[in-house]
Amino acid sequence: MRKVISSSWFSKLAWMPVFLLSACAGMKPEFAAQDLDRWAQEVLKSSFRDEKAVKVSILQQDRSNAECSSARSSGLELSDQARQEIEAENLKTVRPPEDGQYFGDFKQGEALAQDGRGMTWSDAPGQANGGQCYNCHQLSAQELSYGTLGPSLYHYGVNRGVTDLQSAVSKPVVEYTWAKLWNAKSFNACSAMPRYGHHGILSQAQIKHLMALLLDPQSPVNR
């Protein structure tokens, strides 16, 4: 037989948010801000466990995460000094390609940009992740579905004057783009973009495919 929620029980439950809200409204603000933050972190930590590709260690914030989150939640800007220090710390993590080759295959780059798989508790550890670039960026003109959290990357290479991947003129753009994909906070302390190389989300080979997608004059991003 189907169980039906008794109306008296249900009506009590419906009042719960009102009681909770009025309890929060009664707190002194200093008490609420500090302690709610600490409690929230404790609840998160105690209710998480390692599960396949997701590790509890992901809750450890580095300086960039901690200072950017607290600046955002308090409505304050980071100081110029903190911003510069955080960017310098992140830039130090960038590792250039081991074989000196920055470019792979733009077709594989496009597939990676489309692919949002990976890094969830149902993914086996060691399985290759996607880049999910389209979640935040426009890239090729053919793909109509994309997010707008990040700027459009359509014509990324053309707009920066890249006509030949190997030319000396392209070098600064190539090195900047590699570093941006490796660790986006190197140039923007509180960037919302995932730190693909630094956090081992993508391999060097995968980042090379994305480099080709962004900079090769023949790729759908630049045509």
Chain residues binding ligand HEC by CB under 6 A are: 113, 131-133, 135-137, 149-151, 153, 177, 180-181, 184, 188, 191-194, 196, 210, 214
What are the Cα distances from residue 24, in Å, to 31, 108, 115, 171, 173? 10, 51, 42, 56, 51
In the complex, least distance from residue 79 CB atom to ligand HEC, rounded to whole angstroms:
19
In the complex, least distance from residue 36 CB atom to ligand HEC, rounded to whole angstroms:
26
In the complex, least distance from residue 57 CB atom to ligand HEC, rounded to whole angstroms:
21
Closer to ligand HEC by Cβ: residue 52 or 160? 160
In the complex, least distance from residue 147 CB atom to ligand HEC, rounded to whole angstroms:
7
Closer to ligand HEC by Cβ: residue 38 or 72? 72
Residue 205 half-sphere exposure toward CB, CA atoms < 13 A: 3
Closer to ligand HEC by Cβ: residue 86 or 181? 181
Q: Within its chain, how far is the Cα of 126 from the centroid?
A: 19
In the complex, least distance from residue 19 CB atom to ligand HEC, rounded to whole angstroms:
37
Closer to ligand HEC by Cβ: residue 11 or 171? 171
Burial class of 10 by CB neighbour count within 10 A (0 to 12, 13 to 18, 19+): exposed
Closer to ligand HEC by Cβ: residue 32 or 157? 157
Place of tokens 């200072």: 67
Return d(Cα 34, Cα 38) in angstroms, integer. Answer: 6
Return d(Cα 85, Cα 63) in angstroms, integer. Answer: 10
Contact 212, 110 (CB under 8 A): no
In the complex, least distance from residue 164 CB atom to ligand HEC, rounded to whole angstroms:
19
Closer to ligand HEC by Cβ: residue 165 or 193? 193
Radius of gyration of the chain (CA): 23
